[in-house]
Amino acid sequence: MKNAVYAHPNPSPEAHGSSNFLKNLFFPLLSSSHPNIGERLQVDMHAHWLPGVDDGAQSDREGLAMIRGLAELGYRKLIATPHIKKQYENNPQILKKAYDRFLKVVAQNEITVELGLAAEYMLDEGFEEHLASGPLLTLRDNYVLVELPHHNIQMLSAIQKTLFKLQVEGYRPILAHPERYSYYFENFKTIEGLKEAGCLFQLNAMSLAGYEGKEITKRARKLLDQEWYEFVGSDVHNPQQINYLKKVSLTREFQNRAF
């Protein structure tokens, strides 16, 4: 079923986007047997529950609450993806040390869910240094999660050049939350260019639940209509955001289980 992703309680008609999307979602909106988002995806491949390393969880208590909340939604595996960008002095060694410490905290609290560590790399002026300095923190094998600056607009040609370098090094880039990059939606050919450059796309589940506002929800649904999303991530940064994930149900398969 095309675009079988929806949020409930039912959004207003204004937030639904195209009539085609309404048609595609009509049946699942009437269904009461949909599974939780975690039960459908099994793996959350984008989240910020590792404490004290970025703008996500700021304490062990917050990190544990986020892990518990995601596990209760049915996820069997959770992958932490802390930011690696100029604002934070993060690298794979620093993050692995923080992750190993937190694993002990999780074990002490007897939370039984599989955990993993990757990173969300900003494709900024410092990224090529990370690429040259050694193996990147990947989701699995050669899959690496990347994001674009939200305010510093980059030319498509420059982004494509960076993506090409990534792929030459053997990586497969997954672009986090493309629905959030408003300046690229002003010229949709830019989004097409990112897809043509070899990017896989990851949807933020909270974008469908209205957390980012109606415009981002509309953009997310447009990309769903294009069938351009391969993955869905929570991108949770605090325990309160778990409540937004409870509003989202999925009735089609994505590729999260690959991780």
Domain boundaries, the chain: 5-258
Mean pLDDT of 64-75: 98
At 31, the pLDDT band (50, 70, 90 cuts) reads: very low
Question: Mean pLDDT, to the nearest integer, of 249-256?
Answer: 90
CB 101 within 8 A of CB 146: no
The mean of the pLDDT values for the chain is 87
pLDDT the model gives residue 10: 35
DSSP 140: B
What integer pLDDT is reported at residue 8 of this predicted model? 39
pLDDT tens per residue across span 99-150: 999 999 999 999 999 999 999 999 988 899 999 998 999 999 999 999 998 7
Confidence of residue 251 (pLDDT cuts 50, 70, 90): confident
Q: How many CB atoms lie within 10 A of CB 141?
A: 11
User: What percent of the chain clears pLDDT 70, i.e. is strictly above it?
Assistant: 87
Structure tokens at 226: 């294009």
Angle at 16 between CA 14 and CA 17, to 5 degrees: 90
The region of weakest confidence among 53-57, 115-119, 158-162, 166-170 is 158-162
Residues 6+ apart with CB under 8 A from 49: 56, 57, 62, 63, 66, 67, 70, 78, 80, 236
pLDDT at 12: 33
Place of tokens 């398969």: 253
Q: How far apart are CA 199 and CA 9, in angstroms?
A: 32
Average pLDDT over residues 79-90: 94
In DSSP terms, which residues pair with 254 in a beta bridge?
none
Average pLDDT over residues 224-237: 96
Mean pLDDT comparison of 16-25, 64-73, 186-195, highest-scoring range: 64-73
List CB contacts of 38: < 8 A, sequence separation 6 or more.
44, 70, 71, 72, 73, 74, 75, 76, 245
Strands 77-80 and 83-84: unpaired
Helix (H) or strand (E) holding 248: strand 248-250
Q: Which residues of 14-53 are buried (b: 16+ CB within 10 A; e: fewer)?
A: ebbbeeebeebbeebeeeeebebbbebbebbbbbbbbbeb
Q: What mean pLDDT comes out for the span 59-81?
A: 98
Predicted structure pTM score:
0.87
Residues 228-244 have a mean pLDDT of 97
Of 12-21, 80-89, 191-200, least confident by mean pLDDT is 12-21
Q: Are 235 and 204 in contact (CB under 8 A)?
A: yes
Amino acid 188: pLDDT: 86
Q: Are 202 and 254 in contact (CB under 8 A)?
A: no
User: What pLDDT sits at residue 249?
Assistant: 87
pLDDT confidence of residue 33: 58
In this predicted model, what pLDDT tens digit does every residue of 194-206 receive, in sequence order?
Answer: 999 999 999 999 9
pLDDT for residue 186: 83
Confidence band, pLDDT 50/70/90 cuts, at residue 30? very low
CA–CA separation, 194 and 137 (whole Å): 22
Q: Per this entry, what is the length of the chain?
A: 259
* The pLDDT value given to residue 89: 87
Cβ pair 249, 205 in contact under 8 A: no
Q: 5-258 in CATH: which number?
A: 3.20.20.140
